[in-house]
C-alpha cells in the first residue's frame, strides 16, 4: 500500500503551550481514516497544519511522498489536498453554482480569466453540473447560499471540497449540527465519496466514526495515543479511559 | 557630537509627545479593534481649550493643562456613549468612514470658531529659551515635555501592571470575548479607557501647540503619525507604541536636520522598510481578529 | 445535458445587460443634449465617476480599504500634464493610456505592501504612499510647479481631429467615451471567473485559499488594474482642465472618493457613477449655503450615512425605483442591491 498523506514528527506550540507533539501519522491510499480525540486534543490544529494555515515548529508533511510543508494553502489544494470546514464558512452571498464554479475554475487553471464571462466554457459547466447533481444541489443552484436549509449547506460544503478533485480529503466534523431529519443525506454523501479519494475524517461522533472508518488514530493532548483498526481501538483500555473522562497515565 | 545630543534630546521630546498623543488610540484599537481616525480631533480640542484659557482668560499654563485633559476626556466619553459604541461591531470600512466624517466636522467647526491660522499658547517665562548642559543646548520647554510625558508613561505602566483595573484592561485587550466570560464588564472598561485616552490626547494637544503647531488641520496632518505609532508599535502593550513613538520622533528630527531637503521621506521610508520586514508591526501582535 | 445548459444560463445571467442599465447609459448620453450649457460640471462628474469606479474595484470587489487612492489619480494627472507640457506625447488618447500605465506600474509596485498585513496596516500604507508622493511633488517643484501647479498646458486635438473647446463639449464627449469603454472592461472583469474569485476573497480570504484561489496574486492584479483606472481618471482631469497641482494628491480627495462610493453603494459598479452625480449635486447645494465650510458637510454626510447604515440607506433609496419596476414589468426588482460587507 502506498501512503497518501504522512506527517513526520510534527510539532506546534503557541507561546509556551505545546499543542502538537511529535505527531507521526500515515494515511494509506484510499483509506477511510478517522482522527478522533476528546475536546482540546488539538484536532483543529492538526487540520490547520496539514492544510497550511499554520506553519509547524518542527517536522514535515508529505503528500503522496512529496514534501508540502512549506507550500501555501492554495498550492496544496491544487496538489490534491482539500478540506471541509466545521462551522459554516460558506459564501453567504454566492449561490451554490458560483461556489462550485469557483472551485472548478481554479482547479482547471481558469480562475484568473478576466476577459471571459462565467458560464461560457463547456468543460467548466459540465463539471459544475455533475458536481451539483451528485450532491442534490441542482434545484437550489441559483439561490443565495445563506437562504439554503442547513443540511443543503453541509452538502455544499462537501461538494466544494470534491469539486477541487482532491486525492486526499480532510473531513472536519461533516455532520456537526445537522438536524436528525437531514442527517441521512450527509451520511450517504460521505459514504458515497469515490474510493480513490483518501479520506481523513476528524470527528466527535463515535457512531459515524465506527460506521465509516477502517482505521482510527486517537489524539490526546496533541500526541498520538493509539492507532489501529476500529475493533482494536474500541477495545483499547487507554482509549476507554480517555473517553470515560479518566486521567491518562500513558 | 553636541548636535547629535541635541537631535537626540529633541527627538526624544518629540517622540514622547507623540506617545502621549497616540497611546489612547493604541489601547482602543487593541481593546475593541476599533479604528478611530478622529483621535487627533481630541488632541486638537485639548490644545484649543488650553489656548483659550491661557490667552483669553489669563489662566496660568500649568492650571490649563489639567483642564485640557478633562475637557478632551469629557468630549470623549460623551461621543463614546452616544455614537462610537454603535460602531464596535461594524466593518472597518464603516469605522473609517465615520471617524473621517467626525474629523472633517471638527476641522471645519474649529476653523469656523477659531479661524484657520496657527495659534500659539503664551508660555510662562520659565519655560522659554534654553540652557547649556555640558555644551548641549537643552530647550526648557522640551525638557518639561520629557519630564511630564516620562512621568505619565511610568504612571500608565504602573496602572496597567499593578492595579486591578490594569489587569482587567490587559485581560480585555488580550481577548475581549474571554474577558467578558470572566465577568469583566468590557464595555465599561472600554468607555473609561476611551475617555482616558482622549484626555491624554487632549493633554498632548495642549503640550504640542508649541512644537508641532496647532491649527484646525491638526487632526489630518498628524493622522499618519498616529497610524505609524500604532501599526509599527502594535497594540498589545504600551511598550510597543512607546518605542515606536521614540523611533518616529528621533527619526523625524534627525531626518529634518541631516537631510532637510528630503523632508518627510525619512519617516515614510523607515515605515515602509519596517512593514516589509515585519508586516504586523515591530512589536508584538497586530490588531487582527 | 439539461443540467449543463441550466448551469450555463444561470452563470451567464449575472452578466446579462438589464433594461435599467441600458436606460442609465441612454440617460447619460442624453444629458449632453439636455444641458448644453453645463458641459464643464458634467465632465467633472464623469471624471469623478471613473475615479470612483476604480475605488469600487478594490473596495467593493476585493475589500481593500484605501485612504490614499489619490496617489494614482495624482500620478496620472501629472504624467499627462508633463507629457503635454513638454510635448513628449502630444496626442491626448495615447498620452491618456501612457499616464494610466505609469499609475499602473506604481500600483503594481505598491500592491505588495498593501496586500500584507491587516486593515490598519493597509490604511497606513495607502495614506503614507499618497503623502509621500505629495511631498515628492512639493520637493521637486521645479518640475511639478509646486503649489501653483503646471502652468501653460496646451492640449492638442484628440486623434488630431477634435480640438478641446472652451465650453467643454469635446472634453465631455471624450470623457464619456473613456468612461464607457473602461466601464465595459470593468463589467467584463467583475463578471469573469477572476471577478468571482475576488468576491470570494472579500467574503472570506481563508476559505478562498482553501478552494484553491491564489489570494495574494488576485489582490495584486486587481489593485494594479484599479491603479490604472485611477491614473486614467487623473489624466482626464489634466487633459480636460489643463491643470495639475499638488492637491491632486490631497487626502481630502481620497476621503471624498470614499464618500462618493458609499453614497452610490459598493460592489455593483454603478455605485461610483450614481454617487458621483449625487455628490456633485450635494456639493453645489452646500457650497451655495456656506462655501467655506464644505468640509463640515462632507463630514456630516459621512457620519449620518454610517449611523443610518449603508445597507438601510440603499434599501430606502432603491425602494421607489424597485416599486416602479415591479409595477411596470410585473416581476422581481432588477435594480441591483449592493452586496453586504463581510463581517
pLDDT in tens, C91-129: 999 999 999 999 999 999 999 988 877 788 888 889 999
Average per-residue pLDDT for chain C? 88
In a domain, B122, yes or no: yes
Question: What's the average model confidence in pLDDT over A225-232?
Answer: 90
Residues of A within 8 A of C3 (CB-CB) are: 129, 132-133, 138
Ordered alpha helix ranges (H), B83-175: 92-114, 140-162, 164-174
Q: Best residue in B105, B106, B280 to probe C by mutation, most C CBs within 10 Å?
A: B105
Tell me the per-residue pLDDT of A116-131, one tens digit each, with 9 for 90 and over.
888 888 899 999 999 9
- SS3 of residue C261 by DSSP: helix
Q: Which residue has the higher pLDDT, B168 or B98?
A: B98
The pLDDT > 90 percentage for chain B reads 45
* Residue B233 Cα distances to A215, B10, C232, angstroms: 49, 21, 37
Tell me the per-residue pLDDT of B86-138, one tens digit each, with 9 for 90 and over.
898 888 899 999 999 999 999 999 999 999 899 888 888 888 887 877 777 78
Tell me the per-residue pLDDT of C209-232, one tens digit each, with 9 for 90 and over.
999 999 999 999 999 999 999 999
- Cβ of C131 within 8 Å of Cβ of B268? The answer is yes
Predicted confidence (pLDDT) at residue B276 exceeds the cutoff of 90: no
**DSSP tag of A147:** G
Task: Tell how far CA C259 is from the center of its chain.
Answer: 12
- SS3 of residue C254 by DSSP: helix
Predicted confidence (pLDDT) at residue B42 exceeds the cutoff of 70: yes
pLDDT at A7: 94
Residues of C within 8 A of A93 (CB-CB) are: 199, 203, 339-340
Predicted confidence (pLDDT) at residue A244 exceeds the cutoff of 70: no
Most confident among A66-80, A180-194, A233-247 (mean pLDDT): A66-80
pLDDT at C26: 93
- Cβ of B86 within 8 Å of Cβ of C59? The answer is no
B83-87, B151-155, C316-320: which range is least confident on average?
C316-320
Q: Which residue has the higher pLDDT, B12 or A14?
A: B12
CATH 3.40.1710.10 fits domain A3-89+165-243: no
Report yes or no: A141 and C221 within 8 Å, Cβ to Cβ: no
pLDDT at B288: 35
Question: What's the average model confidence in pLDDT over B148-173?
Answer: 86
Q: Confirm or reject contact between B28 and chain C (CB < 8 A).
A: no
Find the CB nearest C194 among A114, A129, A132.
Answer: A114
Predicted confidence (pLDDT) at residue B286 exceeds the cutoff of 50: no
Question: What's the average model confidence in pLDDT over C28-55?
Answer: 93
The whole-angstrom separation of Cα B184 and Cα B187 is 9
pLDDT at B167: 83
* Residue C288 Cα distances to B104, C45, C278, C281, C282, angstroms: 19, 18, 16, 11, 10
Output the CA angle C151-C156-C159, nearest 5 degrees: 150
Average per-residue pLDDT for chain B? 87
The total domain count for chain B is 1
In a domain, B255, yes or no: no
The whole-angstrom separation of Cα A173 and Cα B4 is 63
Question: What's the average model confidence in pLDDT over C36-53?
Answer: 94
Domain coverage including residue B59:
2-222
Q: How many CB atoms lie within 10 A of CB B44?
A: 29
* Surface-to-core class of residue C316, CB atoms within 10 Å of its CB (0-12 exposed, 13-18 middle, 19+ buried): exposed
**Cβ within 8 Å of residue B57, ≥6 positions away:** none
Mind telling me how many Å the CA of B138 is from chain C's nearest CA?
Answer: 30
The whole-angstrom separation of Cα C140 and Cα B261 is 10
Q: Which of B16, B10, B17, B18 is nearest to B258 (CA)?
A: B10
pLDDT at C341: 44
Predicted confidence (pLDDT) at residue B51 exceeds the cutoff of 60: yes
pLDDT at A15: 67
In a domain, B287, yes or no: no
Q: Which of residues 56-115 of B touch C (CB under 8 A)?
A: 83, 86-87, 90-94, 96-98, 100-109, 111-112
Q: How many CA atoms lie within 13 A of A208 on its CB side?
A: 24
Residues of C within 8 A of A123 (CB-CB) are: none
> C-alpha grid cell for residue C309?
447604515
**Cβ within 8 Å of residue B8, ≥6 positions away:** B250
In a domain, B234, yes or no: no
pLDDT at A1: 65
Q: Confirm or reject contact between B223 and chain C (CB < 8 A).
A: yes
- SS3 of residue B193 by DSSP: helix
Q: Which of B254, B240, B17 is nearest to B143 (CA)?
A: B17
In a domain, B241, yes or no: no
The whole-angstrom separation of Cα C73 and Cα C247 is 11
Ordered alpha helix ranges (H), chain A: 43-51, 73-79, 96-107, 122-134, 150-163, 180-191, 206-212, 230-235, 237-243
Average per-residue pLDDT for chain A? 88
* Residue B111 Cα distances to A59, B224, C92, angstroms: 62, 21, 41
Q: Which of A177, A199, A173 is nearest to A39 (CA)?
A: A173
Q: Which residue has the higher pLDDT, C176 or B287?
A: C176
**Cβ within 8 Å of residue B218, ≥6 positions away:** B40, B43, B44, B47, B205, B212
pLDDT at C342: 38
Chain C residues whose C-beta sits inside 8 Å of any chain A C-beta: 3-4, 6-12, 14-15, 188-189, 191-197, 199-200, 203-204, 206-215, 217-218, 221, 339-340
Please give the interface size between A and C, counted as residue pairs whose CB atoms are below 8 Å apart.
144
Amino acid at each position: 500500500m502506498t501512503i497518501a498523506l504522512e506527517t513526520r514528527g510534527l510539532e506546534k506550540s503557541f507561546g509556551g503551550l505545546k499543542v502538537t507533539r511529535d505527531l507521526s501519522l500515515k494515511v494509506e491510499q484510499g483509506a477511510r481514516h478517522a482522527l478522533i480525540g476528546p475536546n482540546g486534543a488539538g484536532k483543529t490544529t492538526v487540520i490547520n497544519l496539514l492544510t497550511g494555515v499554520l506553519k509547524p515548529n518542527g517536522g514535515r508533511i508529505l503528500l503522496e511522498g512529496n514534501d508540502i510543508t512549506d507550500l501555501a494553502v492554495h498550492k496544496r489544494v491544487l496538489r490534491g489536498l482539500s478540506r471541509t470546514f466545521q462551522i459554516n464558512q460558506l459564501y453567504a452571498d454566492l449561490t451554490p453554482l458560483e461556489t462550485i464554479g469557483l472551485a472548478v475554475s481554479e482547479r482547471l487553471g481558469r480562475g484568473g480569466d478576466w476577459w471571459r464571462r462565467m458560464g461560457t466554457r463547456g468543460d467548466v459547466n459540465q463539471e459544475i453540473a455533475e458536481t451539483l447533481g451528485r450532491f442534490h444541489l441542482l434545484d437550489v443552484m441559483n439561490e443565495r447560499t445563506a437562504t439554503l436549509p442547513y443540511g443543503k449547506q453541509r452538502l455544499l460544503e462537501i461538494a466544494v471540497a470534491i469539486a477541487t478533485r482532491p486525492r486526499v480529503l480532510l473531513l472536519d466534523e461533516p455532520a456537526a449540527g445537522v438536524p436528525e431529519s437531514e442527517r441521512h443525506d450527509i451520511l450517504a454523501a460521505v459514504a458515497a465519496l469515490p474510493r480513490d479519494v483518501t479520506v481523513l475524517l476528524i470527528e466527535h461522533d463515535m457512531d459515524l466514526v465506527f460506521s465509516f472508518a477502517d482505521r482510527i488514530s486517537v489524539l490526546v493532548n496533541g500526541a498520538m495515543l493509539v492507532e489501529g483498526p476500529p475493533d482494536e481501538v474500541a477495545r483499547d483500555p487507554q482509549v476507554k479511559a480517555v473517553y470515560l473522562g479518566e486521567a491518562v497515565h500513558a | 557630537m553636541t548636535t547629535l545630543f541635541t537631535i537626540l534630546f529633541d527627538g526624544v521630546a518629540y517622540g514622547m509627545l507623540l506617545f502621549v498623543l497616540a497611546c489612547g488610540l493604541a489601547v482602543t484599537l487593541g481593546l475593541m479593534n476599533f479604528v478611530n481616525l478622529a483621535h487627533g480631533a481630541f488632541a486638537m480640542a485639548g490644545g484649543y481649550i488650553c489656548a483659550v484659557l491661557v490667552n483669553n482668560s489669563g489662566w496660568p499654563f500649568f492650571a490649563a493643562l489639567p483642564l485640557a485633559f478633562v475637557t478632551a476626556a469629557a468630549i470623549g466619553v460623551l461621543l463614546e456613549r452616544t455614537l462610537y459604541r454603535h460602531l464596535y461591531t461594524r466593518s472597518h470600512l464603516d469605522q473609517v468612514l465615520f471617524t473621517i466624517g467626525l474629523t472633517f466636522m471638527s476641522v471645519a467647526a474649529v476653523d469656523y470658531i477659531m479661524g484657520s491660522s496657527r495659534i500659539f499658547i503664551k508660555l510662562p517665562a520659565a519655560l522659554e529659551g534654553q540652557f547649556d548642559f555640558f555644551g548641549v543646548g537643552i530647550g526648557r520647554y522640551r525638557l518639561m515635555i520629557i519630564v511630564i510625558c516620562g512621568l505619565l508613561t511610568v504612571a500608565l505602566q504602573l496602572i496597567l501592571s499593578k492595579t486591578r483595573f490594569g489587569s482587567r484592561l490587559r485581560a480585555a485587550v488580550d481577548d475581549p470575548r474571554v474577558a467578558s466570560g470572566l465577568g469583566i464588564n468590557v464595555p465599561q472598561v472600554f468607555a473609561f479607557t476611551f475617555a482616558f485616552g482622549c484626555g491624554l490626547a487632549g493633554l498632548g494637544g495642549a503640550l504640542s501647540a508649541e512644537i508641532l503647531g496647532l491649527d484646525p488641520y491638526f487632526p489630518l496632518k498628524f493622522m499618519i503619525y498616529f497610524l505609524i505609532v500604532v501599526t509599527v508599535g502594535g497594540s498589545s502593550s504600551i511598550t510597543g507604541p512607546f518605542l515606536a513613538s521614540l523611533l518616529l520622533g528621533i527619526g523625524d528630527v534627525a531626518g529634518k536636520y541631516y537631510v532637510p531637503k528630503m523632508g518627510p521621506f525619512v519617516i515614510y521610508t523607515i515605515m515602509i522598510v519596517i512593514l516589509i520586514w515585519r508586516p504586523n508591526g515591530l512589536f508584538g501582535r497586530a490588531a487582527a481578529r | 445535458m439539461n443540467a449543463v445548459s441550466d448551469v450555463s444560463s444561470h452563470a451567464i445571467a449575472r452578466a446579462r445587460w438589464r433594461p435599467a442599465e441600458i436606460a442609465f447609459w441612454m440617460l447619460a448620453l442624453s444629458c449632453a443634449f439636455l444641458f448644453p450649457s453645463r458641459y464643464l460640471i458634467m465632465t467633472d462628474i464623469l471624471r469623478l465617476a471613473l475615479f470612483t469606479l476604480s475605488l469600487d474595484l478594490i473596495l467593493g470587489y476585493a475589500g481593500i480599504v484605501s485612504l490614499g487612492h489619490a496617489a494614482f489619480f495624482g500620478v496620472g494627472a501629472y504624467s499627462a500634464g508633463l507629457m503635454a507640457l513638454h510635448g513628449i506625447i502630444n496626442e491626448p488618447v495615447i498620452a491618456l493610456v501612457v499616464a494610466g500605465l505609469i499609475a499602473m506600474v506604481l500600483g503594481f509596485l505598491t500592491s505588495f505592501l498593501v496586500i500584507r498585513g491587516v486593515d490598519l496596516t493597509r490604511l497606513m500604507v495607502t495614506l503614507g504612499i499618497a503623502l509621500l508622493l505629495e511631498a515628492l511633488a512639493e520637493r521637486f517643484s521645479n518640475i511639478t510647479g509646486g503649489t501653483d501647479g503646471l502652468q501653460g498646458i496646451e492640449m492638442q486635438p484628440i486623434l488630431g481631429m477634435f480640438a478641446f473647446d472652451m465650453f467643454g463639449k469635446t472634453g465631455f464627449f471624450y470623457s464619456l467615451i473613456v468612461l464607457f469603454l473602461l466601464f465595459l472592461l470593468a463589467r467584463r472583469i467583475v463578471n469573469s471567473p477572476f471577478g468571482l474569485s475576488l468576491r470570494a476573497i472579500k467574503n472570506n480570504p481563508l476559505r478562498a485559499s482553501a478552494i484553491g484561489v491564489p489570494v495574494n496574486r488576485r489582490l495584486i492584479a486587481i489593485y494594479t488594474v484599479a491603479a490604472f483606472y485611477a491614473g486614467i481618471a487623473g489624466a482626464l482631469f489634466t487633459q480636460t482642465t489643463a491643470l495639475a497641482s499638488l492637491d491632486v494628491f490631497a487626502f481630502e480627495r481620497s476621503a471624498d472618493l470614499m464618500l462618493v462610493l458609499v453614497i452610490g453603494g459598493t460592489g455593483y459598479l454603478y455605485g461610483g457613477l450614481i454617487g458621483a452625480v449625487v455628490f456633485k449635486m450635494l456639493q453645489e447645494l452646500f457650497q451655495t449655503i456656506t462655501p467655506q465650510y464644505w468640509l463640515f458637510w462632507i463630514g456630516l454626510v459621512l457620519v449620518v450615512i454610517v449611523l443610518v447604515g449603508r445597507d438601510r440607506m440603499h434599501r430606502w433609496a432603491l425602494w421607489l425605483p424597485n416599486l416602479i419596476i415591479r409595477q411596470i414589468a410585473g416581476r422581481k426588482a432588477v435594480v441591483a442591491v449592493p452586496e453586504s460587507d463581510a463581517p
